[in-house]
Amino acid sequence: MDSAPAGSFRADAKVIGVVGGAHALSHFFQLVLPPLFPLLRAEFGVSYATLGALLSVMYVASALCQFGAGFAVDRFGARPVLLGGLSLLAGGTLAAALVPGVGWLFPLVVLMGIGNGVFHPADFAVLNANVNPRRLGHAYSSHGIGGSLGYALAPVVSFGLGSAFGWRTSLLACGAFGLFAVAVLATQRGALNSRKHGVTVPKHTFAGSLELFRQRPILLCFAYFCVLTIATISITTFLGTSLNAAYGLSLAVAATAITAYLLGNAAGVLAGGFLAARTSRHDRVAATGLAVGAVLVLMLALFAPLAAWAIPLLALTGLALGATGPSRDMIVRGATPKGASGRVYGFVYSGLDLGSSLAPVAMGAMLDHGSARLVAAAIAVFLFVAIGTVVQVRHAVRLSPAAAAAGD
């Protein structure tokens, strides 16, 4: 595992704040398009499955880039990689406002996906290199809160601007804001440093890295992220629409329920930071939160009257799933060999993008074929499956001493 210098609280707080802000921006741009889907569908006359395919293409590009971004972070440092990624996200959003048809959005979401793929390897490399190990649980919590707040703001800002001024104006405003954020982050050179002074940059071989990725703990972490993200992306992308289609819940209430889920998620991540700092059994924390979230979503699928309670139920779901976030990141850190943060986090979090690419098309197809209630049921199933992967990681790490020494 990477060790971090025992920096001052003020220095750690600055690094955590800057990285959390960057993570919020990445999540904001991931969710800037879905709130505008009804407007795009009305203007271009396309199906939800086609619109879902936009997200799938973006996340496939993100997964492929994230894998390579881990190598780039370990080799060149996090700062240039992170700034380049945010520039692609903001620039792609700006250009999307000018397209004459949906087909033109596909190459743009590829660029946005490439930009999105850099954040997890870059963010965690910076945190692991700079933050005192005693504060890493809270650092991961703040990182997760940044992402949750980015998700929570995106529907409000994107749909709010779109409904008032049109979807093109909404994307123009969001893209311009992103480019401004790039300029601000470019001034934070010290806070985005992922290299320790005097440390020689390691030379990683491709074959050695492949052997690293074949270790059972790393593969289990990858599988966990993939399965979990199929569920969580399905919640943020199509659960609100499915509640509207299945139970007649108004779109305004459904959108509010998703926002409640995202805000609950942020609160859960905050609480999860304290849990992660006070326990070594991060697998138990993750499994418990997943079980609670799965049961709550399954109740929405099985009992129609509960749709009226969608806002508090999804807020509690977000709270339960959010609490697993910091422990999840501590689990990955525990499986990460020294000097391999960028590569391991890039590989493991590409599972997140794989799940994100699979979920939108599948859930969109369910909606197109009139199976709206199955969306919530499928989400619950994937959350239960995620429990099976996360509880095995700790055991796999204990049985794989090579995980503590592998890398180059």
Q: Is 156 exposed, middle or buried (0-12, 13-18, 19+ CB in 10 A)?
A: middle
Buried b (16+ CB within 10 A) or exposed e, 278-315: eeeebbebbbbbbebbbebbbebbeeeeebeebbebbb
Whether 22 is in a domain gets the answer yes
Whether 65 is in a domain gets the answer yes
What does the block give as tokens for 298?
């399954």
pLDDT at 6: 45
Per-residue pLDDT of the chain (408 residues; tens, 9 = 90+): 444 444 577 878 888 888 888 999 998 998 899 888 888 888 888 888 888 888 888 888 887 887 778 778 877 778 888 899 999 999 999 999 999 888 899 999 999 999 998 888 888 888 877 887 777 777 888 887 888 788 778 888 998 898 889 999 999 999 999 999 999 988 887 777 765 544 444 555 555 566 666 777 788 888 888 888 889 888 888 788 788 877 877 778 888 888 889 888 888 888 887 777 777 777 788 888 999 999 998 988 888 788 888 899 999 999 999 888 788 777 777 666 666 666 777 777 778 778 877 777 777 777 777 777 788 888 999 999 988 887 776 655 555 544 444 443
The 10 Å Cβ neighbour count of residue 380 is 21
Q: Residue 368 sits in a domain of what CATH number?
A: 1.20.1250.20
Residue 102 is given by DSSP the state G
CA 308/CA 8 separation, integer angstroms: 48
Whether 199 is in a domain gets the answer no
CA angle, 335 as apex, 289 and 319 as ends, to 5°? 15
Whether 198 is in a domain gets the answer no
Whether 354 is in a domain gets the answer yes
CA 355/CA 249 separation, integer angstroms: 27
Whether 195 is in a domain gets the answer no
pLDDT at 405: 43
CA 113/CA 61 separation, integer angstroms: 5
Whether 3 is in a domain gets the answer no
Helices (H) and strands (E) in the chain, counts: 17, 0
Boundaries of domain holding 96? 9-189+205-404
Whether 320 is in a domain gets the answer yes
What does the block give as tokens for 370?
């009139």
Please provide the distance, in angstroms rounded to a whole number, between the alpha carbons at the two ends of the chain. Answer: 14
Count up the domains in the chain and report the number: 1
